[in-house]
Amino acid sequence: MPAARRPYIIYAFPYDETSGGVIAVHLLCQRLAERGETALVWPATRPASLVPRDRASLAKLFWYLAAKLRRRRFATGPFRHRLASPADLRDAIVVYPEVINGNPLGARRVVRWFLHRPGFHLGTVDYGENELYFFYQDAFDDPAINPHPAHRLTLTFFNPAYRRTNFGAREGSCYLLRKGRDRASGIDFGDQPCVDDLSHEEMAAAFNRYRYLHSFDTYSMYSVFAAMCGCIPVIEPMPGVSREEWFPDPVDRYGLAYGWDDVGWAAETQGALLDQLAGVRAEQDAMLARFVAVTQARFGATPTP
């Protein structure tokens, strides 16, 4: 009897162009579909059942029904996904980002994708048994949870706004807080602008105007976007964390300065970063192919009549 490949259901929050993690899960669904896999999105705003089991699920059901009454569609940004139904859950492999504790869809086959270090946002993690774990980059892996160091899955969406348009003089700095907001307490930035709440087009314009981006968000893709625009991103070091501990592989530090003493490295390797980004799609396609092979082998195929 022939076997069909299991479909994927990606548990996703509404698209938000300012959230790298949200973009990543939507991009995963898109790239899986491009490979010919059946890939669907389950909106995180939608309850798994119309019968609430507790106060939390009752609250989610209320907001979901209210949104339906207002005819508010689930935002997918530039992507066009098919939305999953409860019937799709039976045979599917469900992919949760690491910020989801437990198993809200009651799935039998679960993959967790670490888009940040597990516990960074949650404090403590509540994952299940017999799950598979993948990580976006080495710094986000947790060997105490994930026994497979080769399970890296990096997918990058580059907004076309991020390109270098200023090849002339630059001066001054802008700064980025985001997940590092607590580390910037008490710092006087003077007349330096904060780029946190800018649109992609406005942020790209800032990265083309200023010489430096002072970032307190240690692992933000906006640092890479700044380098793509010819700006030098200077990441505020974490206390007690060396440059090598921050990113063990020097390739992951191309174009980035870990502290102001590292600006020379960032300037010297900015070209290498751009060269690396030019070939990134082929590398990421290989990672995605391994993700599909591993998950299908682990959770088996579903028989077809």
* pTM reported for the whole predicted model: 0.69
Classify the phi-psi angles of 220: left when phi > 0, otherwise alpha if psi is within -120 to 50, otherwise beta.
beta
pLDDT in tens, 20-41: 899 999 999 999 999 999 999 9
CA distance 102 to 56: 13
- State the pLDDT at residue 214: 96
CA 47 to chain centre: 23
Hey, what amino acid is at 237?
P
Reported as a pLDDT band with limits 50, 70 and 90, residue 122 is confident
pLDDT in tens, 271-281: 999 988 888 88
pLDDT in tens, 200-224: 899 999 999 999 999 999 999 899 9
Q: Which of residues 16 and 123 earns the better pLDDT score?
A: 16
CA-angle at 90, arms to 84 and 93, nearest 5°: 70
| Structural domain boundaries in the chain | 3-157+280-303, 173-278
The residue-averaged pLDDT of 177-203 equals: 90
> Which CATH architecture describes the domain 3-157+280-303?
3-Layer(aba) Sandwich (3.40)
Q: For residue 92, give every residue at least 6 positions away whose Cβ sits within 8 Å of its Cβ, in sequence order, or none.
A: 6, 7, 8, 9, 40, 84, 107, 109
- State the pLDDT at residue 121: 78
The residue-averaged pLDDT of 52-62 equals: 52
CA distance 173 to 192: 6
Pull the structure tokens for residue 124: 């403590």
- State the pLDDT at residue 280: 85
Is the pLDDT assigned to residue 149 strictly greater than 50? yes
CA distance 114 to 98: 5
